[in-house]
């Protein structure tokens, strides 16, 4: 008799669990169209972001170490306020490698930024 009661309780519990999950499935179906409707809007936002973003292929104009401001120079990798001040202090530069020759930058720091800078000559 105890075994029968245990089986009956297990069966009722299983049925209860099945009914408890059924409304959740209905809610998921209700929410599905909303999620699908939001997807095109999200795709449109991504497309706009790609359109507005600067092209990675577009080469950035090198920064002139003979005329750039300290603030602009400080944006270069490895160049902070102190190095930017030193770059300005030791102007003019005949070539960008003068930064190393004049011992303003180490070779390592120079190697990090050499493709992003130029030393234009005065007119």
- pLDDT single digits (tens) 39-76: 566 565 665 555 555 555 467 899 999 999 999 999 99
Where does the pLDDT of residue 95 fall: very low under 50, low under 70, confident under 90, or very high at 90 and above?
A: very high
- Residue at 93 is within a domain: yes
- Residue at 69 is within a domain: yes
* Domain region containing 12: 1-37
Regarding whether 78 and 33 lie in a shared domain, the answer is no
Regarding whether 28 and 72 lie in a shared domain, the answer is no
Q: What is the C-alpha separation between 31 and 67, in angstroms, rounded?
A: 59
Give CA angle at 39 (33, 42), nearest 5°: 150
Threshold 0.75, pTM exceeds: no
Structural domain count of the chain = 2
- CA distances from residue 32 to 27, 28, 42, 45, 57 in whole angstroms, order as listed: 9, 6, 15, 20, 39
- Residue at 68 is within a domain: yes
H/E run at residue 117: strand 117-118
């Amino acid at each position: 008799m105890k075994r029968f009661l245990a089986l009956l309780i297990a069966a009722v519990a299983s049925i209860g669990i099945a009914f408890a999950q059924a409304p959740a499935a209905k809610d998921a179906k209700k929410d599905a169209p909303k999620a699908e409707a939001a997807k095109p809007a999200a795709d449109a936002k991504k497309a706009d972001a790609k359109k507005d973003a600067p092209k990675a292929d577009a080469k950035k104009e090198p920064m002139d170490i003979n005329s750039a401001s300290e603030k602009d120079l400080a944006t270069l990798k490895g160049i902070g306020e102190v190095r930017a001040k030193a770059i300005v202090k030791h102007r003019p530069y005949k070539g960008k490698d003068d930064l190393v020759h004049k011992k303003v930058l180490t070779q390592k720091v120079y190697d990090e930024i050499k493709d992003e800078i130029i030393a234009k000559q005065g007119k």
